[in-house]
Amino acid sequence: MKHLLVGFVALLLALNVSAEAVVKEVCEPVKDKAGNVVKNKDGSDKQTCKKIKTHKKVEGEKVPDGKK
């Protein structure tokens, strides 16, 4: 009985995790204290990159304006 319960809970968690989240890499140029872009040895701009998750937006109906 415990195995059945554990299997059911694992199935629910697996279905919950499958939400569509896309991992996207966002890069920004590095700036010094004066606000100038820092350059690499080869002359290109130095960048810091981060990976972020973006979720699909759900479209809904427009909320009617309330009476004021």
3 part of a folded domain: no
pLDDT computed for residue 40 by the predictor: 92
Reported as a pLDDT band with limits 50, 70 and 90, residue 1 is confident
29 part of a folded domain: yes
Question: Mind giving me the DSSP string for the chain?
Answer: -HHHHHHHHHHHHHHHHT--EEEEEEEEE-B-TTSPBPB-TTSSBPEEEEEEEEEPPPP-PPPPPPP-
pTM above 0.85, yes or no: no
pLDDT computed for residue 24 by the predictor: 93
4 part of a folded domain: no
Report pLDDT digits (tens) over 4-54: 666 666 666 655 545 578 899 999 999 999 999 999 999 999 999 999 998
pLDDT computed for residue 47 by the predictor: 93
18 part of a folded domain: no
